[in-house]
Amino acid sequence: MNPYIPPRLHSLLKVLAFTETPISVNELAKQLRVSRRTIFREIEGIDTFLRPYNLSLNTKVGKGIYIWGDQAGIKGLRETLEEKNAGIQSNRDERRAILALELLTGTEPQKLYYYASFLKVSEATISYDLDFLEVTFAKFGVSILRKPGHGVSAVGNEVEIRRVICHTIMESKRMGTQFYINLSYPTKEKYTGIDQLMETRFKHRLVWMTSESKDVLAVYMAVAVERISSHNEIEMLDEEVPSSFLPIADFFANSLELQFSIVFSEQERKNLAVYLSALRQSAHFSEKPEGAERDYFLKSLAYRMIEHFDPELAPFLKLDDRLVEGLALHLQSAIVRIKNHVELIDPLFEELSRTYPEILAKSKRALEVLGKFSSDISEYEASFLATHFGAGVFRIKEHGKRHRLKIGVVCAGGIGTSYFMASQIKKVFASQVEIEICGLGDVADWNDFDLCITSIPLQEIPIPMVQVNQLLEQKDFDAIRLYIGKISQQKVQDIQPEKASSLLESCENAYDILLDVRSILANFTVVSIEGECDFDHLVKLAGYRFGSCEEKGRLIYEDLIKRESLSTQVIPSLQLVLLHVQTMGIDGPVFSIIKPEGENFTAPVLAGLRSCIIMLVPKAASRNTLNLMGRISSALLENSYFLESVLRGDKEKTYQKLEEILRNYLTENIIF
């Protein structure tokens, strides 16, 4: 396939290729209706396009310039230039994108005739397209200057121009057009060289980036090379230089120096490092923020964003360490983008807007937290956040509702007794089941249910059935529990997407889960404390009660205090304190309760709260451990019976519910 030839160069090549004798620069400028300066700029990169045909551009003193080479090469060039006008498309969106890039990368005004000529449309159409582009450009601070008799040009500083170039390319990519891949901006020779570097020397250094980040980087380097070649200065970007990106910035800068015979100053290298830090990382190449102080700052922002996203769900979303870590990692580059007006387009934006409008709207609300960095934040940043928040909300729902069985209850005593039976069953198995009352006269489609619980024998039921006493004795609950366990196990096996690749891996996975369950049950307790104790005293008790030695108790205390400084763990709406943290002060997960000796805590900050939950997770917790603790926290949200037991400090009932949650988790996750 013949390479794409940019419009301006195409016009020049066509004149030269079909002219047998040398032609002067003045004559070329006159024929093409451009300035001598434009002709000289086009000539700079012309050999890049002549080389594949074994041709070159020569000069004859006093006569002008001409293409030199054999007739076969000239014939091949002419055929390429004649083919569909060198690839110019008639599609309106593509035409406007080409026009936009020509305006943005041009160095001097061009008349409407010039653009109409190579785009094969009327000057009126070009004028209409410019009206459309004017609105888009204005969003980035770029204006279109139209001077009668002088021409049309784009006006803006380098950052603004670069943002519009990136926006144009990314939008074209989102719409499925491909012309942008070979567009040579800001000059033909320079971008062609960068394109080659991206595909060869830079290729293995770019694996950590998302595809849209690679496109944006290519634009930045093309503009930077053009700027350095023109000996123009650049202002330092408004961000501290991240040391981890300096080596790769040096590698890119050194390669560009060799390719284009330029010199990257120390300031240019630092700016490139900052720009690299603004690009999004692929999910498979995530690195944590540098330094404890930076990590603390980003996590504090993450907690504030969670509070803005959904105040009601916030206490539980904050328990999701995967969400908090993911947001902190995302913010590491997002803040740099926002401060320096680097826009990345999310290809999922339209789909998220259509499929999850509520999540996207809440994400825009969360984005307000970053308003202190810039008043002009791209809507795509909310889209990136929505993928994190959406996953967090989904995990809460999954922990609480995954594999919930639908049960139909039938009782000979009538609908009133059925409701009594249903309430008793729901009280014991609330997190596992959804219950529907079925009267004797109802014609139920039992295929929609997983289990039938009835006080009378029913004939030809196509699902498992448990016949019980309508007053529900202990043996009835045991029978129901047995059936629920069997059905849940079968459901998990039916939908389980992945299994361990070997029996040994299955055993190791099961062993890890069993150790976590044992740790939770063995450490569970209800500790009483004076109601007038303050928050610090409460945290100290939690630390030294569950740390195996004084040093580990101190670690737990310090981590809980640090966690509180990020975002409060006091939840008045639930009437409790939820002390939750990952810490090196424990070896296994902990779930326990501290309750006041009276009905409520009375000290400031804690006044009116009925209970304190302790949820501690080892610092290097596995995914299984985090999922298990997530299941418990979701049960607090989903199951009012469990929450009330915790608030009352009822050790026996809380332990029973905890056993049920853990037993279900074992049933679902230990699979061979």
pLDDT score for 179: 47
d(CA 578, CA 567) in angstroms, rounded, equals: 11
Pick from 398-402, 523-527, 633-637 the range whose average pLDDT is largest: 523-527
Q: Mean pLDDT, to the nearest integer, of 2-14?
A: 69
pLDDT score for 2: 47
pLDDT score for 431: 64
pLDDT score for 440: 58
Please check whether residues 638 and 529 belong to one and the same domain. Answer: yes
Q: For the chain, give the percent of residues with pLDDT over 90.
A: 19
Q: Mean pLDDT, to the nearest integer, of 259-280?
A: 86
Neighbour-count burial for 504-517, b at 16+ CB within 10 Å, e otherwise: eeeeebbeebeebb
pLDDT of residue 671 exceeding 70: no
Write out the H or E segment, with its range, that includes residue 501: none
Q: Mean pLDDT, to the nearest integer, of 627-648?
A: 84
**Rg of the chain, C-alpha, whole Å:** 34
Q: Categorize the per-residue pLDDT at 278 as very low, low, confident or very high, splitting at 50, 70 and 90.
A: confident
pLDDT of residue 83 exceeding 80: no
Q: Is residue 413 part of a domain?
A: yes
Largest interatomic CA distance in the chain: 113
- Please give the structure tokens belonging to residue 17: 């290729």
pLDDT of residue 185 exceeding 50: no
CATH of the domain at 616: 3.40.930.10
Please check whether residues 584 and 606 belong to one and the same domain. Answer: yes
pLDDT of residue 545 exceeding 70: yes
Evaluate if pTM is beyond 0.85: no
Choosing from 87, 114, 136, the residue where a domain stops is 87
Q: Categorize the per-residue pLDDT at 186 as very low, low, confident or very high, splitting at 50, 70 and 90.
A: very low
Please check whether residues 511 and 633 belong to one and the same domain. Answer: yes
**Contact between 576 and 611 (Cβ < 8 Å):** yes
Q: Is residue 511 part of a domain?
A: yes
pLDDT score for 282: 67
Please check whether residues 561 and 487 belong to one and the same domain. Answer: no
Q: What is the pLDDT of residues 554-594, one digit of tens each?
A: 999 999 998 888 888 888 888 899 999 889 999 999 999 99
Q: Name the domain count of the chain.
A: 5
pLDDT score for 527: 93
Average pLDDT, the chain: 81
d(CA 66, CA 52) in angstroms, rounded, equals: 17
Q: Categorize the per-residue pLDDT at 53 as very low, low, confident or very high, splitting at 50, 70 and 90.
A: confident
Please check whether residues 161 and 20 belong to one and the same domain. Answer: no
pLDDT score for 648: 92
Please check whether residues 559 and 637 belong to one and the same domain. Answer: yes
Q: Categorize the per-residue pLDDT at 6 as very low, low, confident or very high, splitting at 50, 70 and 90.
A: low
Among 515, 540, 552, which residue's Cα sits nearest to residue 594?
Answer: 540
**Contact between 85 and 13 (Cβ < 8 Å):** no
CATH of the domain at 443: 3.40.50.2300
d(CA 443, CA 433) in angstroms, rounded, equals: 21
| Cα-based angle 152, 155, 158 (whole degrees, multiple of 5) | 135
Q: What is the pLDDT of residues 281-332, one digit of tens each?
A: 765 555 555 556 677 788 889 988 999 999 888 888 888 888 888 898 889 8
Please check whether residues 65 and 176 belong to one and the same domain. Answer: no
d(CA 198, CA 225) in angstroms, rounded, equals: 14
**Contact between 5 and 81 (Cβ < 8 Å):** yes
pLDDT score for 635: 82
Q: Is residue 15 part of a domain?
A: yes
pLDDT score for 497: 43
Write out the H or E segment, with its range, that includes residue 67: strand 64-68
Q: Is residue 244 part of a domain?
A: yes
Please check whether residues 632 and 527 belong to one and the same domain. Answer: yes
Please check whether residues 654 and 546 belong to one and the same domain. Answer: yes
pLDDT score for 225: 83
What is the distance of C-alpha 512 from the center of its chain? 30
pLDDT score for 82: 73
Q: Categorize the per-residue pLDDT at 524 as very low, low, confident or very high, splitting at 50, 70 and 90.
A: very high
Please check whether residues 379 and 448 belong to one and the same domain. Answer: no
pLDDT score for 535: 93
User: Which segments of 230-291 does DSSP mark as H helices, in order?
Assistant: 246-260, 266-277
Q: What is the pLDDT of residues 383-440, one digit of tens each?
A: 999 988 988 888 776 655 545 788 888 876 555 566 778 878 877 776 677 888 776 5
Please check whether residues 546 and 648 belong to one and the same domain. Answer: yes
185-194, 259-268, 290-299: segment of lowest average pLDDT = 185-194
Q: What is the pLDDT of residues 584-596, one digit of tens each?
A: 999 999 999 999 9
Q: What is the pLDDT of residues 84-131, one digit of tens each?
A: 454 455 578 878 888 888 888 776 788 888 788 777 788 888 899 999
Please check whether residues 61 and 131 belong to one and the same domain. Answer: no
Q: Categorize the per-residue pLDDT at 498 as very low, low, confident or very high, splitting at 50, 70 and 90.
A: very low
Choosing from 87, 110, 143, the residue where a domain stops is 87
pLDDT score for 522: 93
pLDDT score for 223: 80
Pick from 45-54, 262-271, 392-401 the range whose average pLDDT is largest: 262-271
Q: Structural domain of residue 470, as residue ranges?
A: 405-495
- Please give the structure tokens belonging to residue 356: 């999850």
Q: Is residue 463 part of a domain?
A: yes
Q: Is residue 287 part of a domain?
A: no
d(CA 571, CA 299) in angstroms, rounded, equals: 19
**Contact between 624 and 512 (Cβ < 8 Å):** yes
Q: Is residue 282 part of a domain?
A: no
Q: Is residue 398 part of a domain?
A: no
Choosing from 53, 70, 87, the residue where a domain stops is 87
Q: For the chain, give the percent of residues with pLDDT over 70.
A: 85
Q: Categorize the per-residue pLDDT at 193 as very low, low, confident or very high, splitting at 50, 70 and 90.
A: low
Q: Mean pLDDT, to the nearest integer, of 481-492?
A: 74
